[in-house]
Structure 1
Amino acid sequence: MRHFLTLADFTKEELLEMIALAQKIKAQTKQRKFVPYMEHQTLGMIFEKSSTRTRVSFETGIYQLGGIGLFLSSNDIQLGRGEPMKDTARVISRMVDMVMIRTFEHSKLEEFAKYSKVPVINGLTDDYHPVQLMTDFLTMLEFGKENPIVAYVGDGNNMTHSWLMLAAIMGFELRVATPKGYECDPAIVAQAEKLAAQNGGKLIFGNDPKEAVKGVDVVTTDTWISMGQEDEKETKLKAFDGYIVDEAMMNLAKEDAIFLHCLPAYRGYEVSEEVFEKHSEVIFTEAENRLHAQKGIMVWLDSHRND
């Protein structure tokens, strides 16, 4: 049985298998052919962090695959009243066929997976957001960026960490520009650099966003104030001065470069209104692809239960 906790859990070939499944299922969905790959199966969806895209995409996705999703807020189950994560895992995994968790500490996800009898998917933790990066990779392929040079501009957060893993495993160049004091976790960087050395990836780190963006195929960013960091807003706004992806910054990238954002986007902060609207077709295709990428992941995991 396999869990989907970070991209580092998989080989390049395995991730490409999931992407191929996502492409196949997306094409079928567009033709209104809903193949019941997971007929009568139940996906338990545990949310300790609220979400728009994660809930809608997983709940719709399992339904289109022939199953059903159960929305389980921490306010509605015993986990929210202090039941140990390992006990919650041992109970829920005896009643459902797969579990998706969106939570805070990555260690909580790992503990759940350790005690689970069914595959567990990381819907987001403070350290990683791997389903979003599978989505972004699918989107880059759809817009002709098969072997891209990517620039990430912004906070060294869970999105950045997952971009590091994707670039390292897939073997492309990633340039990360973060303000001083907001760099990526050194332990995660070390793991990514080891993977990059094995797979031909190139990871570049710096504090100059304009330098990072020069000549790239893809520019991406994330909100500067993540969920739970609202009290840091004023401090971060000062630290991130000059990091907005605006027209001047995008003009440093290749002429046909695309802009990605995992949403929600805060115009005037990490991205300008002009850049967002100019690239809105890419961004909202990216948002839709959460649905398709996650279906590919779920079907792949279901087919590898006995590994």
Structure 2
Amino acid sequence: MKDLISMADLSNEDIHELLDSAQDLKEKRARGKINEFLKNKSLAMIFEKPSTRTRVSFEVAMSELGGHGLYLNYKDIQLGRGEPISDTAEVLSRYVHGIAGRVNSHDTISEIAKYSTIPVINALSDLEHPCQILADLLTIQEYRNRIKNLKFTWVGDGNNVCNSVILGCAIVGMNIAIACPEGYEPNNDIVKQAKKIGGNVSITHDPAEAADNADILYTDVWISMGDEEEREKRLNDLGDYQINSRLVDLAKHDAIVMHCLPAHRGEEITEDVLNGPHSVIFDQAENRLHAQKALILKLMGQK
């Protein structure tokens, strides 16, 4: 395992190893025990999109592991002036020990990985968001003490996070139900890939059907970055795909509610649910730090 470009780059064993490592690192941090495993190592972080959780969690993770995170806005480096991705990847490979990319196109992060001789992490692309799903699985394990055979329900737009969730659930043996309007389904190739892995994936246009007896209810914004021009259409199309108290009542009595943030209260999720007793959203956000620490350590800590 050199890179993490897709959840499909991970095996079930890889995921459980990362979750165990993340939990250990989280507990050590709580005790104030910080180990400089990555002393004198640097991570170049290429950002084509704005971020709160991704940027902060990667920078803090590198700092607490004894390394250094370099924030590179693509407009400030030669990529923004048309330098070939291959040249940037080869040059950065001579300077730093890893690259994380939050990019517009999945092809960009794939090409960086192709020409890089150092580990590359997909910190978000238009197709997948594997780092988010590692944090999600860590959170589910903390609240359920297991992840296999649970029912994971996604409500809303079948976007990049949804694509990675589908693959992640397939790999670890969770059942996943997707409720989305027609035309907002997740990537068909990824659904096929998940089913080939052995995943139990169902897609419906009925949120109530998907939420029935769910262990986890999950949603994301209806208007992602780049979709702003379609705002009114998306609000209209996705209006019935909101996680609210009525939907929560259809899930198991101890179901947890998740959201990768930022949240638009009153759109994809109601205020009372987001701040209610079922919500684990802010624990989930915190776990981005611990899961990414484990990932960085696995990829960059190798001799």
Q: Name 1:55's counterpart in structure 2.
A: 55
Partners of 1:156 and 1:144 in 2: how far apart? 25
Partners of 2:38 and 2:136 in 1: how far apart? 24
Check if 1:151 corresponds to 2:153: yes
Any conservation in 1 of the 2:273–2:279 contact (CA below 8 Å)? no
Any conservation in 2 of the 1:21–1:300 contact (CA below 8 Å)? no
Q: Name 2:92's counterpart in structure 1.
A: 92
Q: Which amino acid aligns with 2:268?
A: E
SS in 1 for 2:94: coil
Tell me how large the CA RMSD over aligned residues is. Answer: 1.2
SS in 1 for 2:144: coil
Any conservation in 1 of the 2:46–2:72 contact (CA below 8 Å)? yes
Q: Name 2:234's counterpart in structure 1.
A: 236
Q: Name 1:219's counterpart in structure 2.
A: 217
Q: Name 1:285's counterpart in structure 2.
A: 283
Q: Name 1:193's counterpart in structure 2.
A: 195
Q: Name 2:81's counterpart in structure 1.
A: 81
Check if 1:111 corresponds to 2:136: no
Q: Alpha-carbon deviation of 1:43?
A: 0.7
Any conservation in 1 of the 2:180–2:204 contact (CA below 8 Å)? yes
Any conservation in 2 of the 1:145–1:217 contact (CA below 8 Å)? no
Q: Which amino acid aligns with 2:258?
A: L
| TM alignment of 1:256-275, pairs within 5 A | 256-275=254-273
Partners of 1:296 and 1:268 in 2: how far apart? 34
Q: Name which of structure 1's ranges 183-192 and 167-176 shifts more when overlaid on structure 2.
A: 183-192
TM-score (norm 2): 0.97
Partners of 2:277 and 2:42 in 1: how far apart? 36
Q: Alpha-carbon deviation of 1:302?
A: 2.3
Partners of 2:143 and 2:266 in 1: how far apart? 26
Cα distance change on mapping 1:279 and 1:145 into 2, 3 Å: farther
Q: Alpha-carbon deviation of 1:126?
A: 0.2
Partners of 1:280 and 1:161 in 2: how far apart? 24
Partners of 1:39 and 1:91 in 2: how far apart? 21
Partners of 1:261 and 1:268 in 2: how far apart? 14
Any conservation in 1 of the 2:41–2:96 contact (CA below 8 Å)? yes
SS in 2 for 1:183: coil
Q: Alpha-carbon deviation of 1:304?
A: 4.5
Q: What stretches of structure 1 move > 4 A for 4+ residues in a row? A: none
Q: Which amino acid aligns with 2:196?
A: K
